[in-house]
Amino acid sequence: MSAASPESEGLPRIHRLANGVRVVCDPMPGLQTLALSVVVGRGARSETEAQNGWAHLLEHMVFKGAGQRSARSIVEEIEAEGGQINAATGHERTSFQVRALKGGLPLAMDVISDLVHRPVIDAGDLEREKQVVSQEIAEAADTPDDHVFELAQAQAFSGHALGRPILGLDATVGAASRDALAAFHAGLYGPDAIVVSAAGAVEEAELLDLVDRHFAADARAEPPAASGPARFVGGAAPVTRALEQSHLVLLLPAPGLTDPDYFALRLFAEILGGGMSSRLFQAVREERGLAYAIDAYADTHSDTGVLGIYVGAAAKDAAEAAKICAAEIGGLIGRVEPAELARAKAQLKAATFMARESALARAEQAAGQVLTFGRLFSVEETAQAIDAVEAADLARLGERLLGPRACAGAVLGPRPAMKAARAFEVELFG
């Protein structure tokens, strides 16, 4: 096992096994708990259209039995020692996590390595789990303020894996056979895409020994075919539904995680709609009373991203609220007040520092940085990058956001709200 030198004083070292598995250990003195995250740098974006939802289905299936453990014993063994186990599937990552008491690392590693390497994938269990996932798909469709985000994402990246729902569709999930899912597993969870990251009450020597025992023998596997670069397409998805309130998601194409304008994007979103003092909250809710819920956010992937706005409003007010959102974007591009830029920087740095107080957040963050950048960043380095953003950077970013003259909008609710996405587009681009 080799070790990469830390980029700056005090950062954990990144170790690499011969098969490509990378390891990060981040001890936190004084803690009596630890977090172990085994993160695979592949997810729903690694699916073909016919495999839509398989990465999420596979995450479900590994918990049905792995190694010599049954579904029940997987969770019982962890919980009997005071621990918690969880997993999550995204477009570009699949993460397996255990939080445990000090001394719980060997069991956590043993269980997670079974999940990653030795899932049983029984045909009978698969058919039952397909029904569970189908219910999850239905539940998401029945939840308007969840479903509207899927509708907007589908418009933004139509024809690409990023535009398909992580949960998949009933038809594609239903088509997964035991053998096909097992073959998909072999490529998706290949060692070249795995980062083992631990934080809290952990010691590097113990972690490295456990990783060597549980991950070093993994053979390299053929990865799934890459989905290719994502392209923001845009368009409107108005869906009429008998609801008490309308739900809007409005998207603009934005930089990705590795783009130099990443922190400018985060600050732009914070000023626009990041909290109760943000422009959107004040202009749409406080001054006009047009919406109960409104916020802006930056959603980023390795090569692309979106600036998003969510609005929950009465149907009769949806179009007006969307127009004001567009106007506030234009106003923010035109001028940023020094006080609001300083406030946004303080909020973003506070979120960064607060995350450092959670062992799980630190483990996940380290894994994400290694997968995306191949290195770790200190909080001081991150704070400096945030502080370096100036008003001129936000203006330049704003021009980038509007440059393609494309937006995506989804509206879910009563018929009077259906013009909201178009109103947003017209206000932005004429």
pLDDT of residue 2: 52
Q: What is the pLDDT of residue 254?
A: 98
For the entire predicted model, the pTM comes to 0.94
Rounded CA separation 302/191 (Å): 20
- Tokens 């690694």 identify what position? 46
Q: Could you tell me how far CA 392 lies from the centroid of its own chain?
A: 29
**CA 13/CA 164 separation, integer angstroms:** 36
**Mean pLDDT, the chain cut into blocks of 10 residues (430 residues total):** 52 95 97 98 96 97 96 97 97 98 98 96 96 97 96 97 97 97 94 97 98 90 82 96 96 97 98 96 97 97 97 98 98 96 98 94 97 96 97 97 97 98 96
How far, in Å, CA of 399 to CA of 332, rounded?
11
Separation of alpha carbons 195 and 93, rounded Å: 11
* Contact yes or no for 185/121 (Cβ under 8 A): yes
Per-residue pLDDT at 9: 54
The residue whose two tokens read 């003195």 is: 29
Phi-psi region of 245 (alpha: psi -120 to 50; beta: other; left: phi over 0): beta
Domains of the chain and any CATH numbers: 2-143+157-215 (3.30.830.10), 235-429 (3.30.830.10)
Pairing verdict, β 22-27 and 194-200: parallel
pLDDT for position 339: 97
For 177, the 3-state DSSP assignment is coil
pLDDT at 222: 79
Nearest by Cα to 385 from 256, 299, 260: 260
- Phi/psi for 47 (5° steps) reads -90, 150
What is the predicted pLDDT for the residue at 226? 75
Q: What is the pLDDT of residue 7?
A: 44
